[in-house]
Amino acid sequence: MKATRVLAAFTAITLSASLAACSTKQPDTPAEYISVYGSEPQNPLVPTNTNENGGGTLMETLFDGLVDYDPEGKPYNQVAESITPNADSTKFTVVIKDGWQFHNGEEVTSDSFIDAWNYGADVKNAQLGSDFFSNIKGFDELSGDNRTADKLSGLTKIDDHTFTVELSAPEATWPLRLGYYAYAPLPKVAFKDMDAFGEHPIGNGPYMMDGDNAWTHNVNVRLKAFDNYSGKDKAQNAGLNFVFYTSLDTAYADLQAGDLDSVRETVGPNAYPSYQADFPQSHSNRAMASIESFGIPFNLKHFGNDEEGKLRRHALSMAINRDLITEKLFFGARTPAEDFGSPTLGGTPDIKGKEVLTYQPEKARELWAKADKIRPFTGKFQIAYNADGGHQSWVEAVTNSIRQTLGIPAEGRAYPNFKGLRDDVVNRNVGAGYRTGWLGDYPSIANFLESQYRTKGSSNDTDYSSAEFDALLAKAASSPSAEKAQPIYNQAQAVLMEDLPQIPLWYKSASTAWNPNLKHFQTGWNGYPEFTKLTKEGDN
């Protein structure tokens, strides 16, 4: 494939990008609130049933867990006074700080965590994040097809501010994961009507829902600073207004016009060439714990867990010119992927088989031809994407590279919004490849691998299953330290390189800009702005 043909496609894509706007009128919002780009959450705002960025950004501001992370990803105790392991890290004693309360004034206690975790793990509640509790003793009895318990046997209350957690296997680094919002506490009122609670969640974080109409669906969510917040990162601003856009281009235009304060962690693709010049004093480009990929369901014709499927997955990956796309389309805001994680987790490991992520057009055609001898390819290959997230240009570039290399019909398939795409992916109705990505829930390679690729993982949307991979994850988790676990995680990644349940594309950066009137802007380890630190010129 000649570079000039790909670049011509890029140009056509960029010129044809549409500016779909957020047209519904927003309810009145205080002028001192900081306005932030957002997207409509897929589900009601329940911590254990939220696994996408639209809702996840809100979870990060509404709830605090036992642990939190500084901007560099270093963990520190937040609600926890202490988390103490026994000799072999199979049991942890958790002591909660005094004085923490929910937005409704209820005290945060041991029961607040125990009840929330039991709810999240229980199969009858069908929570998307249930897998995060799989390493706690009693999970199988509570989550299996033949449910034999109504709570996790590994959770024991000692008193109102102390409880113990017994794991099903040793895990020295277990406390690291506890800053993810799936482990957040819940107040008693949540369990009376979880659906109603999800429409107006009551958390314990630095922000709270601003009034009964704080969430106007498909329009915005308003949050105000929580005056009685007990954490170290108390909000320095009056509140946040998350505005839901159908296009990052429109959000960027509003940022330029002064009608939006932050596009969050990234500008839209059409702004990559100019955002630094457009905002010379208010931009940044910082590596973040995130990767962009596309998934291929194993129930998709021609892509099953068999020889044909493996050949075609390898061929597709080798048909993509990642170097050219990241250079010409992203202007340095992306780096071609060499593994399934992120370099911010401690560098890029040298994974066996990673050459499958390099552009090898001749090899790609050879593998596709071998697959055709098993069963001739019919139909077309599609990558489904949400049009409200700035993905059209790269999806078209990737499918163009596939089409020109392999000589097959390949194209993008647009969904109007992220929620629609995620609903079809989660319900196994997408019927195509689909764009996906991973933004670290907590700063560990375990998070990138367990949730997406472990059998029945919380975000394993391709339904990948490998006994070898699962066994390596379990072995790594039981290691006495992160350093000793790393070589085992590398072996697990080598299995993924062979099976390719997802096709890694590139690592993402927080390439963003903000209103010059915002002060103290900083992106954290996960690319999100440190919202609580922000002030707006003119605020008290």
Q: What is the pLDDT of residues 447-464, one digit of tens each?
A: 999 999 999 998 999 999
Query: Under a CB-based contact definition with an 8 Å cutoff, are residues 359 and 320 in contact?
Result: yes
Q: What would the mean pLDDT of 502-509 be, rounded to a whole number? A: 97
Q: Please say if the pLDDT value at position 9 is more than 80.
A: no
Distance, in Å, from the CA atom of 35 to the CA atom of 421, rounded to the nearest integer, reads: 25
- Please calculate the CA angle 452-453-459 and round it to the nearest 5 degrees: 30
Burial of 296 by CB count in 10 Å (0-12 exposed, 13-18 middle, 19+ buried)?
buried
Q: Please say if the pLDDT value at position 519 is more than 90.
A: yes
For residue 178, give Cα distances in angstroms to 48, 68, 79, 94, 449. Answer: 13, 8, 10, 11, 17
Q: Where in the chain is the domain with CATH 3.40.190.10?
A: 29-63+205-282+514-539
Assign 475 to helix, strand or coil: helix
Query: Under a CB-based contact definition with an 8 Å cutoff, are residues 472 and 296 in contact?
Result: no
pLDDT tier, 537 (very low <50, low <70, confident <90, very high otherwise) = confident
- The secondary structure of residue 25, as a DSSP letter, is P
Distance, in Å, from the CA atom of 504 to the CA atom of 478, rounded to the nearest integer, reads: 27
Place of tokens 């004693």: 93
pLDDT in tens, 112-147: 999 999 999 999 999 999 999 999 999 999 987 889
Length of the chain equals 540
**Which helix (DSSP H) or strand (DSSP E) does residue 121 occupy?**
helix 110-121
**Which long-range contacts does 10-13 make (Cβ < 8 Å, 24+ apart)?**
10/328, 10/329, 10/393, 10/397, 13/392, 13/393, 13/396, 13/397
Assign 398 to helix, strand or coil: helix
Burial of 310 by CB count in 10 Å (0-12 exposed, 13-18 middle, 19+ buried)?
middle
- The Cβ of residue 520 has, within 10 Å, a number of other Cβ atoms equal to 12
Q: Please say if the pLDDT value at position 440 is more than 50.
A: yes
Distance, in Å, from the CA atom of 13 to the CA atom of 2, rounded to the nearest integer, reads: 17
Q: Please say if the pLDDT value at position 522 is more than 70.
A: yes
pLDDT tier, 81 (very low <50, low <70, confident <90, very high otherwise) = very high
Q: What would the mean pLDDT of 27-49 be, rounded to a whole number? A: 94
Q: Please say if the pLDDT value at position 12 is more than 50.
A: no
CATH top-level class of 65-189: alpha beta
Q: What would the mean pLDDT of 485-510 be, rounded to a whole number? A: 97
Q: Which fold has domain 286-510?
A: Dipeptide-binding Protein; domain 3 (3.10.105)
Distance, in Å, from the CA atom of 158 to the CA atom of 496, rounded to the nearest integer, reads: 42
Q: Please say if the pLDDT value at position 224 is more than 90.
A: yes
pLDDT tier, 300 (very low <50, low <70, confident <90, very high otherwise) = very high
pLDDT of res. 22: 47
pTM score over 0.85: yes
| Residues facing 177 on adjacent strands | none
Q: What would the mean pLDDT of 166-185 be, rounded to a whole number? A: 96
pLDDT of res. 4: 35
Q: What would the mean pLDDT of 474-495 be, rounded to a whole number? A: 94
Assign 144 to helix, strand or coil: coil
Assign 181 to helix, strand or coil: helix
For residue 185, give Cα distances in angstroms to 67, 92, 102, 439, 483. Answer: 12, 17, 9, 22, 30
Q: Please say if the pLDDT value at position 23 is more than 60.
A: no
Query: Under a CB-based contact definition with an 8 Å cutoff, are residues 210 and 223 in contact?
Result: yes
Provide DSSP, 420-439: HHHHHHHTT---SEEEEEEE
Token representation of residue 470: 């699962």
Phi-psi region of 218 (alpha: psi -120 to 50; beta: other; left: phi over 0): left
Provide DSSP, 351-377: -TTGGGGS--HHHHHHHHHHHHHHS--
pLDDT tier, 390 (very low <50, low <70, confident <90, very high otherwise) = confident
Percent of the chain exceeding pLDDT 90 equals 89
Q: Please say if the pLDDT value at position 8 is more than 70.
A: no
Backbone angles phi, psi at 170, to 5 degrees: -60, 140
- The secondary structure of residue 468, as a DSSP letter, is H
Assign domain 29-63+205-282+514-539 to its CATH superfamily: Periplasmic binding protein-like II (3.40.190.10)
**Which helix (DSSP H) or strand (DSSP E) does residue 316 occupy?**
helix 307-318
Determine the distance from the C-alpha atom of residue 47 to the mean position of all C-alpha atoms in its chain, rounded to a whole number. 13
Lowest-pLDDT choice from 104-108, 143-147, 251-255, 313-317: 143-147
**Which helix (DSSP H) or strand (DSSP E) does residue 193 occupy?**
none
Token representation of residue 367: 């593998």
Burial of 171 by CB count in 10 Å (0-12 exposed, 13-18 middle, 19+ buried)?
buried
pLDDT tier, 18 (very low <50, low <70, confident <90, very high otherwise) = very low
Lowest-pLDDT choice from 13-17, 191-195, 430-434: 13-17
Q: What would the mean pLDDT of 236-242 be, rounded to a whole number? A: 98
pLDDT of res. 27: 67
Q: What is the average pLDDT score of the chain?
A: 93
Return the CA Rg of the chain.
23
Q: Please say if the pLDDT value at position 280 is more than 60.
A: yes
pLDDT of res. 20: 38
For residue 120, give Cα distances in angstroms to 53, 162, 395. Answer: 19, 20, 34
Q: Please say if the pLDDT value at position 111 is more than 90.
A: yes
pLDDT in tens, 321-377: 999 999 999 998 999 999 999 999 988 899 999 999 999 999 999 999 999 999 999
Determine the distance from the C-alpha atom of residue 93 to the mean position of all C-alpha atoms in its chain, rounded to a whole number. 29
Q: Where in the chain is the domain with CATH 3.10.105.10?
A: 286-510
Distance, in Å, from the CA atom of 153 to the CA atom of 137, rounded to the nearest integer, reads: 6
pLDDT of res. 321: 98
Q: What would the mean pLDDT of 85-107 be, rounded to a whole number? A: 97
